[in-house]
Structure 1
Amino acid sequence: MSKRYGSTVALDAAGVAVAAGSTHALVGRNGAGKSTLVSLLTGLQAPDAGVVFFAGAPAPALSDREGWRERVACVYQKSTIIPTLTVAENLFLNRQGRFISWRRLRDRAWDLLGEWSVDVDPQTLADDLTVEQRQLVEIARALSFGARFVILDEPTAQLDGAAIARLFDRIRALQEQGVTFLFISHHLQEVYEICDTVTVFRDARHILTAPVAELAKDDLVDAMTGEAARLVTAHREPRATGEIVLRFSDDAIAFTVRAGEIVGLAGSAGSGKLAVAESIVGLQRGGTVEVCGHTPKPGSVPAALAAGVGLVPQDRHREGVVPLLSVAENITMTVPDRLGPAGLMDPRRRERVARSLVDDLNVKTSGLDAPVSDLSGGNQQKVVFGRALASDPRVLVLIAPTAGVDVRSKETLLEAVDRAAARGTGVLVVSDELDDLRGCDRVIVLFRGAIVQEFDSGWRDNELVSAMEGIGG
């Protein structure tokens, strides 16, 4: 199938054929086209070209939601279970009829959960379920519509090792009962544990489909990343660095960042990299954080800011910009002490500070007073960058810093990172995007909450991706 969104090619004549009763893996780096394919396979969108077939028959019309539910279901990484309802209510939501018999509802839930060997009390509030239990309830709900083809989207991202083993046991048992799975995962070693066949997408195209048992792990990584032998960046002399400005440690992770050094913290979903970053900037508690020899109050953003930490958060829409405020108000939000004496704001001083940052980052705006919501996504991200840099931080933490921006904006932002390091700021780039990590002096790779490898500059795509996916080293 093919699918475009404006000028963006999301799928380019790419597809997958899943054999009944199998567990078929779909893998690829971010932007490969996996999510677009899922939206087409579940009837959320129509392809621009191509057709979806189930058991040899064309898929129903998009308007026939019942027809789609009878053929396919997707268990997403983000649960669709409603936490304030019971398990039974979630299982039969919108299917109880005009009048509800609570006893009959519970009895039907017991029968359904028993049929698929899901050991959960249907009277339990969904909010009290574990992540593992929620997934099994969602699978049971999907099967109750009659679907025997289930898409699992990153099902292990929030599970520990024991829960993953139990989930895989359930998948195997369901396969024996005639259920077919499309398994989407960033953890390639799981593909070899649970899947029969694997399909690789890259750059919106189908690259290969092969039996897992016949595909070497290195060949799988090569298919995901492109040229096996391509160097990401030529080895260069390390930057001149100074004293340690950031030290983080917990049970399984410990690292430092020096002044003038750019360190990458990489890992796929569930690796723990986001928890580390948010602990450093005070968005959550975890581990021990030292900034320039001082320990800020755990779980306190103001304390982290006061200690000299600047942050570019993961989601600029939810955590970055304040849409109704102006460009100037957004970009100077963290430095009120520089805008006037005794807590008063001098508009001219704010304009001076904002203008310097806007010019430095080449923010395209009609004016400093324009609402930040009027800016393009790339320029909004530049404003978030500017705010992080406004306080002249000793440590700069960048979480997925170039996500969702155009190529030119990405170049501008990464150049700003280099300039910050040249001024003596220690930079931590937290990302699974290879382009974000290319300029790092070293990259620390996490997998399931622990450091598995560390790379100096000069790493190859397949080396880094293998480590991130859990099959390196």
Structure 2
Amino acid sequence: MSAPLVEAIGVGKRFGSTVALADARLTVVPGESHALVGRNGAGKSTLVSLLTGLQAPDGGEIRFGGEPAPPLADRDAWRARVACVYQRSTIVPDLTVGENLFINRQPLAGFGRISWKRLRAEGRELLDQWGVEVDVDARAGDLAVEDRQLVEIARALSYGARFIILDEPTAQLDNNEIERLFARMRALQESGVTFLFISHHLQEVYEVCQTVTVLRDARWIITAPVADLPRAALVEAMTGEATALGEGVTESRVGPDVPVRLAVSGLSGDAFTDVSLAVRRGEVLGLAGSSASGKIELAESLVGLRTPSGGSAVLDGEALPFGDVRRALDAGVGCVPRDRHHEGLVPELSVGENSAMTIAGRLGKYGVIAPSRLRAHAERAIADLDIRTEGPGQPVNALSGGNQQKVVMARALATDPRLLVLINPTAGVDVKSKEALLAVVDRIRAGGTSVIIISDELDDLRPCDRVLVMRHGSIADEFPAGWHDHDLVASIEGVTRD
């Protein structure tokens, strides 16, 4: 077996009375893709901060190639050993690709002036060396997400680092984009690059990684070859218990005699054309498709975020008010948007304030929110969704990703919606939080709420009574409950089924 490229040996880290890591271990050998998995709060982010030199461990040791890690102040030495491509891009969108590649180290032409000719030439050489097919003069903000990630990887490799940490790299990618990213990862591995791959999508671990390390409750649990660890055993290692995630509905729970709640007829917009569908009272409908299928745009039209160019949507006999979120809320539509960080939360506000944002007018008179009513509402939401927080007053940005998503769900449910639209509802959350969020769907549909789930995750679609697949802006296929993964994926990809 190869000598370790990177080791974390018995590392620990505390923040006050909170134990973030206790005797954690990690051994990564050259040329592999090594998965690091665990629930939110397991210690993954803390371990990454130690591996990248952002913090020093309180105990234990970080080693690179058998040698102790450099001092924290020696940033050049750290950059030559390791880099992290975070879920939130560090690319500066208004700069060109070349400017991003050499940010703070631009080649100079004399008298402190930047040599733009050398910058472009060296940028092209760097991109060609690592097979990144983007224009060095392109504005970075205009690149696709996967291309921005590859630019970040190329920038890291230019410092000499051959150990790259990928933190939830597929969170904003569709299936085709994910496959292209994985193909680049494999090519880079063959060129001597080693990856630490962090993801909540366990199927990706099996697709692209050779070894997996599991953290739970700030401790190392297991390191094993991926091929030797069945999915059920991996989930159990992450959670400490067996999980029901992945078990789907075998047949529809909504009969044809149940009244239609939402009727969409001939709806057209920027990315979809002539879409017609119906959702019955208490039905859970899934919408699947690639990022270019139009499914997101259709969903955002139903919740008031977009204005379609034609067609209609009627909820319980009343026309939906397009292009007006406030009126859509008043009409009985709730929404969990696709990106909790940019669309779902106000990070500086508290858990209580975020959970009550849609009903602020009900919590006091004359535009003034009564603190006691806000607190009572927040405490009910915290209990109903099992939000792990210090209390209603805690800033929402201090919560784990799974608990932040529960706050977004609480806000959507606060209005007691008749139709709840969930867009990528479990993106970036751990296995147990996924279970909890999908359990909410079962609970509210039993009370008569209709639900539309738009997701790239098959597990998100398993609670659905049926799933519609969109391609090129139109509904291309329908799958009743009990569908098989390979059939649904084939339809999403446009592959003809026998």
TM-score relative to the length of structure 1? 0.68
Partner of 2:205: 191
Helix, strand or coil at the partner of 2:59? coil
1:143 and 2:162 are equivalent in the alignment: no
The one-character-per-residue Cα deviations of 1:207-258 (angstroms, maximum 9, x if unpaired) are 221222333344333333433378999x9xx99x97454578989x999876
The equivalent of 2:121 in structure 1 is 107
Match of 2:76 among 57, 66, 70: 66
1:27-66 correspondence to structure 2 within 5 Å: 27-66=37-76
CA distance in 1, matches of 2:343, 2:315: 26
The Cα offsets for residues 163-205 of structure 1, whole Å up to 9 and x where unpaired, read as 3333333222222222111122233333333322222223332
Query: Given that residues 89 and 149 in structure 2 are in contact (C-alpha distance below 8 angstroms), is that contact kept between their aligned partners in structure 1?
Result: yes
- 1:204 counterpart = 2:218: yes
Aligned to 1:282: 304
The answer on whether the counterparts of 2:358 and 2:415 sit within 8 Å (CA) in structure 1 is no
Aligned pair 1:130/2:150, yes or no? Answer: no
Which residue of the partner structure matches residue 165 of structure 1?
179
Letter in 2 for 1:394: R
Residues 402-452 of structure 1, C-alpha deviations (whole Å, 9 max, x = no match): x99xxxxxx9x99999997787555679999xxxx9xx9879999999999
Maintained 8 Å contact 1:361/1:416? no
Deviations 1:373-411 (A, max 9, x none): 96665999999888766755333567869x99xxxxxx9
CA contact (8 A) 2:93 2:141 kept: yes
Alpha-carbon distance in structure 1 between the residues aligned to 2:134 and 2:35: 28
Q: Quick one: which of 380, 385, 389 aligns to 1:361?
A: 380
In the other structure, the counterpart of 1:301 is: 325
Cα separation, partners in 2 of 1:121 and 1:362, compared to 1, 3 Å: closer
| Residue type of the alignment partner of 1:211 | P
Which region of structure 1 is more displaced relative to structure 2, 116-125 or 286-295? 286-295
Query: Is structure 2 residue 199 aligned with structure 1 residue 180?
Result: no
SS in 1 for 2:46: helix
Q: 1:312 to 1:5 in 2, by over 3 A?
A: farther
Gap change, CA 1:175 and 1:380, over 3 Å in 2:
closer
Q: Which residue of 1 aligns with 2:235?
A: 221
Whether the 8 Å contact between 1:331 and 1:384 is mirrored in structure 2 is no
Distance 1:356 1:85 in 2: 45
Distance 1:166 1:383 in 2: 33
8 A contact 1:60–1:68 mirrored in 2:
yes
Q: Is 1:361–1:382's contact at 8 Å kept on the other side of the alignment?
A: no
Distance 1:170 1:310, change over 3 A: closer
Give, in whole Å, the separation in 1 of the partners of 2:185 and 2:405: 41
| Cα-Cα RMSD | 5.7
What is the alpha-carbon distance in structure 2 between the residues aligned to residue 129 and residue 137 of structure 1? Answer: 10
1:24 partner amino acid: H
Q: Which residue of 2 aligns with 1:292?
A: 316
8 Å CA contact 2:442, 2:463 repeated in 1: no
1:13 is aligned to: 23
Deviation, 1:86, is 1.1
CA contact (8 A) 1:196 1:213 kept: yes
User: Alpha carbons of 1:142 and 1:323: their partners in 2 closer, same or farther (altered >3 Å)?
Assistant: closer
| Structure 1 contact 279–285 (Cα < 8 Å) conserved | yes
Instruction: Name the CA distance, whole Å, in 1 between partners of 2:411 and 2:208.
Output: 45
Instruction: Mark the CA change 1:6 to 1:22 in structure 2 (over 3 Å): closer, same or farther.
Output: same
Give the distance between the partners of 2:347 and 2:127, measured in 1 at CA.
45
Distance 1:11 1:381, change over 3 A: same
Return the offset for 1:107: 1.5
Question: Do the aligned partners of 2:262 and 2:314 also contact (CA within 8 Å) in 1?
Answer: yes
For 1:388 and 1:200, locate their aligned partners in 2 and report how far apart those are by CA, in whole Å. 33
Provide the C-alpha distance between the structure 2 equivalents of 1:315 and 1:242, rounded to a whole number of angstroms. Answer: 33
2:26·2:213 contact (CA, 8 Å) conserved in 1?
A: yes
Per mean C-alpha deviation after superposition, the further-off stretch among 163-172 and 413-422 is: 413-422
State the identity as a percent.
53
Count of residues paired in the alignment: 434
